[in-house]
Amino acid sequence: MSSTFLETPIEYLKGVGPARAEMLKKELQIFTFGELLTFFPFRYIDRSKFYKISEITDDNAFIQIKAKIVRIQTIGTHRNQRIIATVRDDSGEIDLVWFQGLKWIAEKLSPLQEYIIFGKPSIFNGRYNIPHPDLEIPPTQPLPLSETIRPVYSSTEKLKAKGLDFKGISRLMKNLLMNEKFFVPENLTPEILKQLHLVDRKDAFINIHFPQSSELLSKAQTRLKFEELFFIQLRLAKQRAGRLKKHAGQPFLKVGDYVNRFYNQHLTFELTKAQKRVIKEIRSDLGSGYQMNRLLQGDVGSGKTLVALMIILIALDNDCQCCLMAPTEILANQHYQTISGMLSGMNVNIQLLTGSTKTATRQLIGEGLLNGTIHLLIGTHALLEENVRFKRLGLVVIDEQHRFGVAQRAKLWEKNIVTPHVLVMTATPIPRTLAMTLYGDLDSSVIDEMPPGRKSIKTKHLYEPDRQKVIGFLRDKIREGRQIYIVYPLIQESETLDLKNLVDGFKTILTEFPPPEYAVGMVHGQMKQQEKDAEMKRFLERKIQILVATTVIEVGVDVPNASVMVIENAERFGLSQLHQLRGRVGRGSDQSYCILISGYELTTEARQRLSTMVRTTDGFEIAETDLRLRGPGDLLGTQQSGILNLRIADIVKDEKMLRYAHNLATDIIQDDPLLSKEKNDNLAHHLLQMDKHSQNWGLIS
Ligand code: ADP
Ligand code: MG
């Protein structure tokens, strides 16, 4: 079952010299035959179908037309020079435009010749044109059936310059598949192939690159998508099984003074049913003797922090130290304040460690951690530093997990001989399919209920010209004693320009709400920590009524008296960010409001985002919509995982297949946790290959 063929360096392929090899590596990360083979077409053209020029309406999709050149012009000089070839079919005319490689194009174009033209129309000065199309002289004979479906590969300008446009890549693919040594090992078991009616792997690769028919193409796609999803699930299932076996956890069996005292004397409200259920789930992990690795999802304000606190107290009752890591200093501070407040008088030594902690204090904290006098350490990334060592770390709580890199989380594991229990909290609900793929080796708990008495936040989408109305509304709310957030997006790459945007907004607000009658504050990412904290503190203490901010306030900050959230340029925010921001209000008992302000000109997607926000406050629904609108690749935090660099499958479109793959992988691992049974040889072998190619690929926490 050798796979050396697939591991052959790409420069050994016919048609790939050193220069092209270099480009393939640089531009497409293709180093081996195998990597070229899994460089799949992103679409297919049916070469027997042609558009009429008059039918061109969409300025996005690739199209194919058949037309004659009626005019060739060279326009502009030097760098602005371009060639425009006007072509005509029996329905109309369109311009083909080239900006580069003009000399070559000029020689190639023959007037009055009919061409098959393939490209992506765009619109310029109200007219459609096709920039840098592919041209081909129509074949004199009708195409054989096997050549009517043509694959299209994505390429780059640099690759094209080396002759590797999509046709060039296709030629390489042909060389690969025609290679006399061409061999791809089957990686699924005969049983799975039979059960799911999948075509074998070799046929799938041939038909994905050179479809013999649309039916065979679709079979090839199904097979390769399934394979991709299945092995991710199999790896996760295996890791999970391995983790359970390998990492004995410290069993937290006791519920003692800390928990009891807090529950009976400090907790001023009844826990929600969801909180109780989740605490029970976590407790059963903690008592199991295995290391816990659990994801706690719950909408903003659903009471996750409180759950974490209860779990921390359980750890303390079992003589363990804990740490709580937050993504920003503001949040770490806030956790520190809230938790210190809630536990005051309980004899819990809590310390705060962030980037701005002074060296002397750091030293003291270091000692306290080592001799065990510090019970709970709250902080930011600073907790990950090498010299932060505990005497007996039993529990790590990570708040707002997607801000942290995978590798960073792994670091926390190493802080103890016995791996600490890990609880990862996220306020961004993760759609089930995504969670399955991203966090497949974590257990998951969901708080799906809000504490009682919360009024649903009223959300409105308004436009720039409504601003005076908004100002009037804000005045009313301030008169009622409420406080207001006004948030500006990061618009430019440049931090200085962002700041300008914010400062301009701040000035406008100041003229509408002048001192001494009003007090307006501002926080942004470039302020010193102390300044930020001071400003937040003034807001908390109601010394300012309006806080103008960038998204630094996005996560976690808790000011119950703030009941209005105004989001400027709301169209520029992603859905999950909007949802997070809105979650800053509605934390008290007053009716809260979220006002989204945008320009009139909105993309369809922006419009959908804003209307989703107006329609619902359900975080899971919002997350699902976000996933559908943007695809998983763009969701916060998924890039870093590397797991969603799917080559062919799509967890939204192929959701059913994903679920199937998940269940099948789970069953197989349950039956054969180490994949050591002979019938699973193919699977085991392929997982090994995958591991070779991506280190630490699935280390989630
Ligand atoms: P999250 O971390 O999920 O955003 P928090 O734990 O910060 O939510 O809780 C939000 C607010 O609700 C806090 O002020 C908290 O004290 C309060 N809270 C939490 N649980 C309950 C409950 N069961 N009943 C009433 N208030 C609660
Ligand atoms: Mg929180």
Q: What is the pLDDT at residue 695? A: 46
Mutation choice for ligand 1 from 262, 296, 306, 559, CB with most ligand atoms inside 8 A:
306
Please give the average per-residue pLDDT across 167-184, as a whole number: 92
Summarised one tens digit per residue, pLDDT across range 509-527 is 999 999 999 999 998 878 8
Whose tokens are 């399934």? That residue is 226
Q: Which ligand is nearest to the CA of 558?
A: 1
When the pLDDT of each residue in the chain is averaged and rounded to a whole number, the result is: 86
Q: How far is the CA of 377 from the centre of ligand 2 (A)?
A: 17
Dig out the tokens for 581 from the structure: 């921001």
Q: What is the pLDDT at residue 547? A: 95
Q: How far is the CA of 151 from the centre of ligand 1 (A)?
A: 54
Bridge partners of residue 89, in order along the sequence: 92
Summarised one tens digit per residue, pLDDT across range 376-434 is 999 998 888 888 899 999 999 998 755 555 455 556 656 656 688 989 898 777 777 77
Ligand 1 atom nearest to CA at 300: 4
Dig out the tokens for 314 from the structure: 């359980």
Q: Is the pLDDT of residue 700 over 50?
A: no
Q: Domains of the chain, with CATH numbers?
A: 49-142 (2.40.50.140), 257-286+302-426 (3.40.50.300), 458-616 (3.40.50.300)
Q: Is the pLDDT of residue 247 over 80?
A: no
DSSP string, 185-240: ---S-HHHHHHHTPPPHHHHHHHHHS-SSHHHHHHHHHHHHHHHHHHHHHHHHHHH
Q: What is the pLDDT at residue 123? A: 81
Q: Is the pLDDT of residue 481 over 80?
A: yes
**Which of the residue ranges 267-281, 302-316, 379-393, 420-434 would you say has the lowest mean pLDDT?**
420-434
Q: What is the pLDDT at residue 433? A: 73
Q: How far is the CA of 555 from the centre of ligand 1 (A)?
A: 14
Q: How far is the CA of 583 from the centre of ligand 2 (A)?
A: 10
Q: CA gyration radius for the chain?
A: 30
Please give the average per-residue pLDDT across 180-188, as a whole number: 93
Q: What is the pLDDT at residue 386? A: 81
Q: Which ligand is nearest to the CA of 297?
A: 1
Q: How far is the CA of 304 from the centre of ligand 2 (A)?
A: 6
Ligand 1 atom nearest to CA at 342: 16
Between the CA of residue 384 and those of 300, 515, 641, what are the distances in Å? 26, 44, 19
210: number of Cβ within 10 Å: 20
Q: Indicate which residue's Cα is closest to atom 23 of ligand 1.
A: 271
Q: Indicate which residue's Cα is closest to atom 27 of ligand 1.
A: 451
Summarised one tens digit per residue, pLDDT across range 584-617 is 898 878 899 999 999 998 888 899 999 999 999 8
**Which of the residue ranges 90-94, 158-162, 337-341, 367-371 would you say has the lowest mean pLDDT?**
158-162
The fraction of the chain above a pLDDT of 90, given in percent, is 51
Query: Given its phi and psi angles, is residue 453 left (phi above 0), alpha (psi -120 to 50 degrees) or beta?
Result: left
**Which of the residue ranges 252-261, 402-411, 569-578 would you say has the lowest mean pLDDT?**
402-411
Task: List CB-based neighbours of ion ligand 2 within 5 Å.
Answer: 305, 556
First to last CA, the chain: 34
Ligand 1 atom nearest to CA at 270: 23
Q: Which ligand is nearest to the CA of 619?
A: 1
Q: Indicate which residue's Cα is closest to atom 20 of ligand 1.
A: 303
Name 259's Cβ contacts closer than 8 Å, sequence gap at least 6: 310, 313, 314, 317
Q: Indicate which residue's Cα is closest to atom 26 of ligand 1.
A: 451
Please give the average per-residue pLDDT across 467-493, as a whole number: 90
Q: How far is the CA of 282 from the centre of ligand 2 (A)?
A: 18
Please give the average per-residue pLDDT across 672-688, as a whole number: 95
CA-based torsion, 260, 266, 269, 271: positive or negative: negative
**Which of the residue ranges 58-72, 213-227, 302-316 would you say has the lowest mean pLDDT?**
58-72
Q: Is the pLDDT of residue 242 over 70?
A: yes
Crossing angle of helices 166-178/201-209, nearest 10°?
A: 150
pLDDT-derived band at 118 (thresholds 50, 70, 90) equals confident
Q: How far is the CA of 291 from the centre of ligand 1 (A)?
A: 27
What residues are in contact with ligand 1 under a 6 Å CB criterion?
Answer: 269, 271-272, 275, 298, 300-306, 427, 451, 558, 587
Coil, helix or strand at residue 523: strand
Please give the average per-residue pLDDT across 173-182, as a whole number: 92
Q: What is the pLDDT at residue 699? A: 36
Q: Is the pLDDT of residue 558 over 80?
A: no
Please give the average per-residue pLDDT across 438-463, as a whole number: 85
Mutation choice for ligand 1 from 304, 305, 582, CB with most ligand atoms inside 8 A:
305
Q: How far is the CA of 451 from the centre of ligand 1 (A)?
A: 7
Cα–Cα distance measured from residue 597 to residue 472, given in angstroms and rounded to the nearest whole number: 15
Length of the chain: 701
Ligand 1 atom nearest to CA at 583: 4
